[in-house]
Structure formats: C-alpha cells, structure tokens
Amino acid sequence: MNAIKELRKYLENNASTEPAKILARLAIALANDRQFPLSELYRLPYDEFQLALELMQDWRLDRYYAARIRLFDVVLNDVLPEELRS
C-alpha cells in the first residue's frame, strides 16, 4: 500500500490523536510547498515517524494525485477542520 493511501486510512481511524494532527500538518505543508519543523516529526511514535518518511518519499515521486485528494478530504473534514477554517 502506498504511503498516501496508508496515511489517509490512518487519519480516518485516528483523527483526534496528536500524531494524526502532526501527520496532517505535514501533508498540508507538502501540498503547499511550505516548511515543516522537523521537531514535530521527532514527537511522533516510531511507526508514525516511519509513515511520515514514506509519505515524503511518495510525495516526491508525485504519482499519487487521486490518493492525495482523498487524503485532503480526511485532513480538511475530519482531522483539522477547525484549524483550517480560522
């Protein structure tokens, strides 16, 4: 399973957790070509840290456009709705 799809599923199942919010912010930073503090990645548990690394690798390849759209549906609607509307 590619990392973008795996992250989407992770976020759907863990939307209210702090690791999910960190991963969602990473996805937003990647999508908007913004800086992301590495210190946030270091706060992730090991498995989520690995997922973040895989996400960055997949993102760089830029071949999962449809999966990214579904990921942002989860980010915008389930994980960070209040942060992005303010």
Instruction: Tell me if 24 sits within 8 A of 8, measured CB to CB.
Output: no
pLDDT tier, 43 (very low <50, low <70, confident <90, very high otherwise): very high
Closest CA to 27 of 46, 45, 48: 48
* Residue 73 or residue 5, greater confidence: 5
How far is 86 from 6, CA to CA, in rounded Å? Answer: 28
Closest CA to 41 of 18, 69, 68: 18
Domain ranges of the chain: 3-85
Per-residue pLDDT for 70 more than 80?
no
CA angle 85, 38, 21 (to 5 degrees): 35
Q: What is the pLDDT of residues 44-59, one digit of tens each?
A: 999 999 999 999 998 8
